[in-house]
Amino acid sequence: MALHVVVMAGGKGERLWPVSRADRPKQLISFGSDKSLIRATVDRLLPLAGPERVCIVTGADIAPQVAAELPDIPASNILAEPFGRNTAPCIAYAAAFIAARDPQGMMAVFPSDHAIADTDVFQKTVAYGAQCLHDFPEHLITIGIEPTHPETGYGYIAPSEVMHSGGTMVLRRVAAFHEKPDRERAQNYIAEGFLWNAGMFMWRVDTILRDIKRHVPDLSDNLMRLSASAWQNSDILSFYENARAVSIDYAVMEKAAKVAVIPADFGWNDVGSWDAVGKLKPKDRDGNTVEGTAYFHECRDNVVWAGVKPIVCIGIDNLVVAEGEEAILVCPRERSQDVSSVLKKIRG
Amino acid sequence: MALHVVVMAGGKGERLWPVSRADRPKQLISFGSDKSLIRATVDRLLPLAGPERVCIVTGADIAPQVAAELPDIPASNILAEPFGRNTAPCIAYAAAFIAARDPQGMMAVFPSDHAIADTDVFQKTVAYGAQCLHDFPEHLITIGIEPTHPETGYGYIAPSEVMHSGGTMVLRRVAAFHEKPDRERAQNYIAEGFLWNAGMFMWRVDTILRDIKRHVPDLSDNLMRLSASAWQNSDILSFYENARAVSIDYAVMEKAAKVAVIPADFGWNDVGSWDAVGKLKPKDRDGNTVEGTAYFHECRDNVVWAGVKPIVCIGIDNLVVAEGEEAILVCPRERSQDVSSVLKKIRG
């Protein structure tokens, strides 16, 4: 029973605008490393599944850039979505694609645009997940991140009893998934030992396809037609046109009966805001992080991303200053999660 | 007795960097108006002295740009300094140049890079100064600005008794000049009715040349040689090489026996920092001022100068954000007077 890897690369790049943009979203950019996020994601996974068993789901508009970034991945493994429909259609498409090659295969799903500090622990976690799937072939397994602070920007997973243990790792039953909480609730979640939902999943393809059929029957029907047509572009378009935009969490994970979680701590960072970028990169002695050329005079804890021109900062603290190709952004780090919504307003 | 006007345009453009730069300093840029500061300065003065009697002292490096900006001023009236030596040599050079044409002429000196809101009051003030010079030909007259706040960045003038009055204007004897004060002293100065020293002077050329001879004899000796040589470039170079860099205030005004001041209020702004630029331009309803394209989301009282790219601001207050050709600057408005010193540090 082989492990297949799916890397979801459909991000629109709005949260790290103006450096990340729709035509060059953040998965194609390097943050705090010399590799792009997608290249680093694939490199972490290649030792677990050779290039033939790595498949990428991405937007049709950026698929050529993704293919160029990953020349070792077979072109036929790069699945282009005509438009984004959240994670459920994306995962259904990938599962059907893998099932056509390996009907009882295992599938591990990861976002393309997260950073992970400890590759070794990450790989051991995924290998442990594959081991668990042998014992629990009907379970949907998620990898839950040990929280470091009461973050309000992530969903949480409430684990219950231990189902399996192996070395330092355990598999626990999932009691419930919780949406993004407010501050007080997030503190309670942490006190109760809940985990962050990082959008990382492992399952057998037959299991996920069965659970999609059970919980999202309309999506499943469209998927059957798509599989039968052997992946013609017009059929893919039709599948996406008819798919509701819904997350796999909401559509399947929260409803499925057999769901488990592997708690993990491998230095995960979702690179989901400029503030998160500031946590990824090495800091100067005053806590400033820089890409490109910047000068600081009496400045603390800023995140500066210089483009072509140097950025000169005098007496500023906790700000994001980023120059992209089409604009310059200035905002407090604590407001950096507002970038994508403000961008939508500006664009009307 | 004709009025000659001298516009001092030797500024290096460091305080409004990176928009203003050594090779295009702020007098050549427009701030809050469609005219460059030097063009506006000259236009204010032309009704008082025709183009033949307006002379500009500027750096040799930017003299061609100044000449191009002022095509109506005779090229021979644009005096190029080989390098800056503060205001005393500049004023001595201009006084000698005017004296060669009109030995008893009146001379009015103004910086090229200040903004004045009320042209009419300004012109009336200068006309009143010329009238006073008829009655007090041996006096050095300065125009003192009625302060609006206890500014620590300017020198102050302590006026004493009224020497002359005409309509709404008065000429007062000067009791003393005071250097830039600290905050507490500035508050005392304002309470005592002191005026801001804005570097605007009026006098007869024979009077200022006599006072330069009395108080700065070395400068005067060099000047005599320069005048005798009829303004050859090599002699101008030699004059500047031998001139000490000293302000006219320190070298002459503070020492001269007969000094008077005309208090004036014509909406003066020295455009001496990004904070001052913010006071010049119209504000949006949240107090932000913008040049170029900017978007504000929950921002107050910022000064934004966009270059080629739009600047997107989220949740920031009281900041300066300026894109120039060679860099991007971000600093609090209250730190904007530090720009030139930080620039010197960066450049080593």
Closest-CA distance of chain B to residue A279, Å: 20
- What mean pLDDT, rounded, does chain B reach? 95
Residues of A near B (CB-CB distance < 8 A)?
Answer: 18, 295, 297, 306, 309-316, 319, 321, 323, 326-332, 335, 338-339, 342-343, 345-346
CB pairs under 8 A between A and B: 97
Q: Decide if pLDDT at B226 tops 90.
A: no
Helix, strand, or coil (residue A94)? helix
What pLDDT sits at residue B231?
A: 81
CA dihedral A296, A299, A305, A308 (to 10 degrees): -30
The pLDDT of A66-92, averaged and rounded, is: 96
Please indicate whether, in this complex, the C-beta atoms of A310 and B316 are within 8 angstroms of each other. Answer: no
Share of chain B above pLDDT 90, in %: 91
Please indicate whether, in this complex, the C-beta atoms of A346 and B295 are within 8 angstroms of each other. Answer: yes
State pTM to two decimals. Answer: 0.91
Cis ω before B18 (30° cut-off from 0): yes
User: Which tens digits make up the pLDDT trace of B270-318?
Assistant: 999 999 999 998 999 999 999 999 999 999 999 999 999 999 999 999 9
Tokens of A285: 């002695």
Q: Decide if pLDDT at B12 tops 90.
A: no
User: Is A95:A205 a contact under the CB 8 Å cutoff?
Assistant: yes
Closest-CA distance of chain B to residue A343, Å: 9
Closest-CA distance of chain B to residue A270, Å: 22
User: Which tens digits make up the pLDDT trace of B165-223?
Assistant: 998 999 999 999 999 999 999 999 999 999 999 999 999 999 999 999 999 999 999 99
Q: Decide if pLDDT at A229 tops 80.
A: no
Give strand ranges (E) for B85-145: 106-111, 115-116, 140-145
User: Which tens digits make up the pLDDT trace of A14-28?
Assistant: 999 999 998 899 999
Q: Decide if pLDDT at B11 tops 90.
A: no
List CB contacts (< 8 A) between B306 and chain A: 328
Q: Angle of helix B233-242 relative to helix B87-101, nearest 10 degrees?
A: 140
User: Is B252:B236 a contact under the CB 8 Å cutoff?
Assistant: no
List CB contacts (< 8 A) between A340 and chain B: none
Poorest-confidence range of A89-93, A206-210, A343-347?
A343-347
Domains recognised in chain B with CATH numbers: 3-269 (3.90.550.10), 274-347 (no CATH)
Q: Give the per-residue SS3 of B85-102.
A: CCHHHHHHHHHHHHHHHC
Question: Strand A319-323's sheet: what is its strand order?
Answer: A289-291, A303-305, A319-323, A328-332, B311-314, B294-297
List CB contacts (< 8 A) between B313 and chain A: 329-331
- Conformation bin of residue B193: beta by default, left when phi > 0, alpha when psi is -120 to 50: left
Interface test with A, best of B313, B330, B341 (most A CBs within 10 A): B330
User: Which tens digits make up the pLDDT trace of A115-145?
Assistant: 999 999 999 999 999 999 999 999 999 999 9
Tokens of A30: 């390097």
- Conformation bin of residue A203: beta by default, left when phi > 0, alpha when psi is -120 to 50: beta
Q: Decide if pLDDT at B33 tops 90.
A: no
Closest-CA distance of chain B to residue A332, Å: 7
Cα distance between residue A290 and residue A273, in whole Å: 15
Question: Strand B303-305's sheet: what is its strand order?
Answer: A294-297, A311-314, B328-332, B319-323, B303-305, B289-291
Q: Decide if pLDDT at A43 tops 90.
A: yes
Residues of B near A (CB-CB distance < 8 A)?
Answer: 18, 295, 297, 306, 309-316, 319, 321, 323, 326-332, 335, 338-339, 342-343, 345-346
User: Is B174:B276 a contact under the CB 8 Å cutoff?
Assistant: no
Please indicate whether, in this complex, the C-beta atoms of B314 and A335 are within 8 angstroms of each other. Answer: yes
Of B314, B319, B335, the CB nearest to A339: B314
Please indicate whether, in this complex, the C-beta atoms of A331 and B315 are within 8 angstroms of each other. Answer: yes
Q: Decide if pLDDT at A74 tops 80.
A: yes
Cα distance between residue B44 and residue B47, in whole Å: 7
In B, minimum Cα distance to A299 occurs at: B331
In B, minimum Cα distance to A324 occurs at: B309
User: DSSP string of A117-136?
Assistant: S-HHHHHHHHHHHHHHHHH-
What pLDDT sits at residue B13?
A: 79
What pLDDT sits at residue B106?
A: 98
CA distances to A66, A178, B156, B338 from B182, in Å: 60, 58, 12, 16
